[in-house]
Each structure stands twice: as structure tokens, then as C-alpha cells.
Structure 1
Amino acid sequence: MRILVNSLRLIAVIAVVVAVVAQLQHAVVSGNFRFWNFFGYFTIQSNLIIAGALAAAVVSSSRRRSATRVDLVRGAATVYIATTGLVFNTLLAEAALAANFDLPWASDVMHKVIPAYAVLDWLLFADRGRLVLRQVWWFLLYPAVWLVVVLIRGATDGWVPYPFLDPDLGYGVVALYALGVAVFIALMGVLVVGMSRLRIVPV
């Protein structure tokens, strides 16, 4: 079972890398590539974070060592990628996102396949330690920093990664959207903590 789980995680890591590189190459060829814009998307960052977390989990598992920090990072990464999947498929599926996600199969990998896999991986496979509720606050730190950077960029150079963060909507509206996403991240964090106590498939 351990070999199967690690193989699935490696496939997920490879899928993320291939999708990101393919979309990056497509953006460069189309002439719409801007480094800070492309890598400023929460989608790109959360996919790279979950890929790194899954890779670390494979290494930890292959060494048969308990890795509390890896579990915490993977839990946080699961929250972030789940947020990516939900927000994109509810708020952004019909939105135009410049030329950064116009490669359909790569977009599906990053917004649908990987979010679904990451949540199932965390739920099903019992090779992670138990997290505690107070760690949910750590899950909010990275999204908060990301949001501050995005709002600063929106107010200065006018670039925002997603339409619902556009300052032209009014900062009251943006604040409501940001609050909604923050609440979702917190609730997802609580759910991830709860799932960490389950032992469905021994690994």
C-alpha cells in the first residue's frame, strides 16, 4: 500500500509540474508572460505548494519516519489547493484570466484534478499525524500575506489576479470577497484538522 500511495503522489507532483510548465510556455509564446503576474496567481502558488508537500511526504514515507512538520505543511497545502478548486469552479469558471489559464487541459489539472486528489489523499491515507485546532491559524498566514501583496499591487500598478479582487469594484466589495475566502479557508482548516484524526486506509 505504501508503494501505491507514494506512486500516486509522485504522479500528482509530476502532473503539477507538467501543467505549470506547459501553461508557462504557452504564456511566453503568446507574448503575455509577465513573471510576477504569472507566479502571482494563487492557483500557481497553491499547486506548487501542494506538489512540494506531496514530494516531502513521499520522502518522509519512504524513510518510514514520523514528520510532524511535513504533516502540518501538507495539511496547509491541502487547504490552499482546496480553496483554489472551490473558488475557481464557483467564482471564476466563466471569468477571463488574461492568457494565463487559457490552456484547457493544464487549467483542468490545476483547478480540478489536483484539488480533488489532494483532498482525497489527505482524507484517505493514514500516514499523517494528528493536527490540532490551534494550527488553523497558521493556515491563514500565507493567504493573508498573499492578499496584502495583491491589494498593494492592485492599488499601485493596477494588476490583480482575479476579478473579485479588482479595486474598481470598491474596497468594500473586495473586503467582503476576501472575508468570504478567509472564512472558507478557516473552515477548511478545521475540516482538515478533523480529517487528520481519521485512519481510513492504513499506509
Structure 2
Amino acid sequence: MKRILALIFALLGWFAIIMQYYLMLQNSALSFGEMTIRFFSYFTILTNLIVAVYFTFYVVKNPQKTEHSGLLTAITIYILIVGLIYQVLLRSAWSPTGMQKIVDELLHTLIPVLVLFFWFLYENKSGLHYKQIIKWTIYPVIYLLYILLRGSFSGFYPYPFVDVLAIGYPEVLFNSFWILIFFIGLSMLFIRFGKALNK
């Protein structure tokens, strides 16, 4: 059953990512190179890509229940951050239609829920511990540094709450700090809940 679910989730993830890339190509006036760089500058895309790769390897390798604790938990937290920030801060910013709406819901709603469901059923929760949070923060911190660095010479910032040109560095750092706090709090909640489930 695990491999079947992993296969379904992997296919959904790859479909959503590839279709989103195709839609951006169709609607962008940018050069192919710049559009591609911007596509992979979204935390949503990168995180859904991580999800798709994880489930693809899960299907191929078929890890046992004793697999290393923490990886799936970290991925689950990343994709939930994608979903929650979109629902709270970004959903009202646009109203996609047609295929774009379907892809949008897959990337920001359905896939986060499915990953959470998979975590609840199959994560090896016995090895979760709070010191893992430090390692889990590496990805979002590196991502933030990347978009700020590239934005400083390209002028492109993928999200309004990190748009230095529009709100300035103090506000961006303030927003990033609270997102980091939210991430750490959510991570602690997952570890505590995981330990409770394991008991």
C-alpha cells in the first residue's frame, strides 16, 4: 500500500510541476533562460520538486519502516509551510482559472495534505528529536539567502513579503524572522506529536 500511495503522490507531483512550467512558458514574455531561473526561484516549486523526488525514490527503493527518522518529517513541514503561507497570505492575490487553477490547487493544497497523510501513516516517529530542527532549517535559510542575493541584481523577488524593492530590507528581514519562528514552532509541534503517536 505504501508504494502504491507513493507512486500516486509522485505522479501527481511531477504532473503539477511540469504543467506549471509549461503554463509559465506559454504565458511569459521573458527569455527561456530567465523564465526557467525564475520558475526554480519559487519555494513552492522547489519544495514540490523535493516531494516528487522523495516519493519517486520511495517507489524505486521501497524503504522499510525502519528508515531514518526525520527526512519525511522535514519534507512534510516544508510542504505544509508552502500550503499554509499560500492559504493565508497569497490566495487572495490572484484568481487562476482552467488548468492553472487545477495546478495551483495541486501545488498548494492537495499535495501538502497528501504528504501530511503519508507522514501520519508511515513516518518512523521513534527517532524524532528536537536537535534535528537545526538541520531542517538549512534549506529555507539557504533559499532565503539565494533569492535575496539574486534579487539584488535581477530585481526579481518571487513573493511580495520578500520583495526588497517594494518593502525594503528591514521589512523583509522582519517577515523572514517570523516565518522562521513559525517554521521552528511547527517543527517542534510535529516532533512532540510524533513522539505522542509513537507511544
**TM-score, with length taken from structure 2:** 0.86
Q: Which runs of 4+ in 1 moved over 4 A?
A: 126-129
> Secondary structure of the equivalent of 1:133?
coil
| C-alpha separation in 1, matches of 2:40 and 2:116 | 23
| C-alpha separation in 1, matches of 2:19 and 2:45 | 12
Structure 2 equivalent of residue 174 of structure 1: 172
In structure 2, do the counterparts of structure 1 residues 82 and 94 end up closer, same or farther at CA, with 3 Å as the change threshold? Answer: same
- After TM superposition, give the deviation of residue 179 of structure 1 in Å: 0.9
> Alpha carbon RMSD of aligned pairs, Å?
2.3
| C-alpha separation in 1, matches of 2:4 and 2:55 | 11
* 1:52 and 2:53 are equivalent in the alignment: yes
Contact 1:153–1:159 (8 Å) recurs in 2: yes
**What is the aligned length?**
191
User: Which one-letter code corresponds to 1:80 in the other structure?
Assistant: Y
User: Which one-letter code corresponds to 1:67 in the other structure?
Assistant: E
Structure 2 equivalent of residue 188 of structure 1: 186
- After TM superposition, give the deviation of residue 73 of structure 1 in Å: 2.1
Contact 2:79–2:112 (8 Å) recurs in 1: yes
- After TM superposition, give the deviation of residue 30 of structure 1 in Å: 2.1
Q: Which residue of 89, 96, 110 maps to 1:91? A: 89
User: Which one-letter code corresponds to 2:53 in the other structure?
Assistant: G
Question: Unpaired segments of 5 or more residues in structure 2?
Answer: none
| C-alpha separation in 2, matches of 1:175 and 1:27 | 29
- After TM superposition, give the deviation of residue 64 of structure 1 in Å: 3.1
| C-alpha separation in 1, matches of 2:133 and 2:63 | 27
**TM-score, with length taken from structure 1:** 0.84
| C-alpha separation in 2, matches of 1:128 and 1:27 | 38
- After TM superposition, give the deviation of residue 185 of structure 1 in Å: 1.1
User: Which one-letter code corresponds to 2:183 in the other structure?
Assistant: I
Contact 2:125–2:198 (8 Å) recurs in 1: no
1:12-33 CA-partner distances (Å, limit 9, x unpaired) = 1110100111111111122346
- After TM superposition, give the deviation of residue 63 of structure 1 in Å: 5.0
Question: Unpaired segments of 5 or more residues in structure 1?
Answer: none
Contact 1:78–1:118 (8 Å) recurs in 2: yes
* 1:40 and 2:41 are equivalent in the alignment: yes
Structure 2 equivalent of residue 24 of structure 1: 21
- After TM superposition, give the deviation of residue 129 of structure 1 in Å: 4.5
| C-alpha separation in 2, matches of 1:58 and 1:192 | 25
| C-alpha separation in 1, matches of 2:139 and 2:124 | 25
Contact 1:54–1:74 (8 Å) recurs in 2: no
Give identity over the alignment, percent: 27
Greater RCO, CA 8 A, separation 6+ = 1
* 1:67 and 2:64 are equivalent in the alignment: no
- After TM superposition, give the deviation of residue 128 of structure 1 in Å: 5.1
User: Which one-letter code corresponds to 2:189 in the other structure?
Assistant: L
In structure 2, do the counterparts of structure 1 residues 75 and 83 end up closer, same or farther at CA, with 3 Å as the change threshold? Answer: same
User: Which one-letter code corresponds to 1:73 in the other structure?
Assistant: L
Structure 1 equivalent of residue 3 of structure 2: 6
User: Which one-letter code corresponds to 2:64 in the other structure?
Assistant: R
In structure 2, do the counterparts of structure 1 residues 50 and 79 end up closer, same or farther at CA, with 3 Å as the change threshold? Answer: same
| C-alpha separation in 2, matches of 1:53 and 1:192 | 19
